[in-house]
Amino acid sequence: MIEVISGERCIDCDLCVKVCPTDVFDAVEGDHPVIARQGDCQTCFLCEAYCPVDAMFVAPTTDPLPIGSNLLDERWLVDADLLGGYRRDLGWNKGAAPTAGRDPAGRFLASMHGDPGPIRLPPPAPYRSLSELS
């Protein structure tokens, strides 16, 4: 769910208030918008896609992250290049072309039917923990 609006990047355009399909944000007169109803966030990433200055970070987890998670730390997110990544993948960033136009779906969809083929890796080690995930 939405976790971060970067105070450094946000330009108070309030586009996120407008486009969020579940009305998570509130505009604030003369200030950045706020995450007013985090519990309503459906983790659809569209505020990230629309934000013109890559100020939003939607964590992929549908519950709030634990305090102390790296993904709540704006500096860490910038260093890990995680702000604006979805917009880049869509080709919605400035000067880019939509990646929909180089969508190789035809070839891909053709290979989606039939046998998926053998496992191409050695058997996995037992699963330990994903605690490092958040």
Partner 1 sequence: MSHPDDTTVHLDIDADVLVVGGGPAGTWAAVKAAEAGARVVLVDKGYCGSSGATAAAGTGVWYVPPVAGERESAKASRESLGGHLADRRWMDRVLDETWARVPELEEHGYPFPVDDETGLPIRTSLQGPDYMKRQRQRVARAGVRILDHSPVLELLVDDDGAVVGAHGLRRQAAERYRVRAGATVLASGGCAFLSRTLGCNVDTGDGYLYAAEAGAELSGMEFSNSYSIAPAGTSVTKSAFYHWATFYRADGTVLEGAGSQRGRSVIARTLLDEPVFCRIDRLDDDLKQLLPTLQPNFFQPFVKLGVDPFTDLFPVTLILEGTVRGTGGLRIVDDSCATSVPGLFAAGDAATRQEICGAFTGGGSHNAAWAISSGVWAGTGAADHALALKATARTRPARGAGTVGLRPTGRPGPVDEHRDVVATVQGEVMPYDKNLFRTDPGLRASLTVLDDAWDRARSSLLGVGKDAYRAREAAAMVATARWMYRSGLVRTETRGMHKRDDFPQLDPEQHHRILSGGLDEVWTAIEPLGWTVPPPTAAPALAGAAR
Closer residue to partner 1, CB minimum distance, 26 or 31: 26
> What is the distance between the terminal CA atoms of the chain, rounded to a whole angstrom?
13
Closest contact distance (angstroms) between CB of 99 and partner 1 is 4
Residue 82 within binding range of partner 1, rule CB under 8 A: yes
Measured torsion, CA atoms of residues 108, 109, 114, 117, in degrees rounded to the nearest 10? 20
Choose, by CB under 8 A, the member of 63, 66, 79, 96 that binds partner 1: 63
CA distances from 96 to 11, 65, 100 (A): 21, 32, 12
Min separation Cβ 30 and partner 1, Å: 18
Residue 107 as a binder of partner 1 (CB under 8 A): the answer is: yes
Tokens of 87: 């917009």
Return phi, psi of residue 107, to 5°.
-65, -40
> Do 60 and 47 contact (CB within 8 A), yes or no?
no
**C-alpha–C-alpha distance, residues 41 and 51, integer Å:** 16
Question: By rule CB under 8 A, what count of residues binds partner 1?
Answer: 59
Contact flag: residue 52 with partner 1 (CB under 8 A): no
Q: Which residue from 10, 34, 49, 78 is in contact with partner 1, where contact means CB under 8 A?
A: 49
Residues lying near partner 1 in the complex (CB under 8 A): 17-23, 40, 42-46, 49-50, 58-63, 71, 82, 85-86, 89-92, 97-109, 111-112, 116-121, 123-127, 130, 132-134
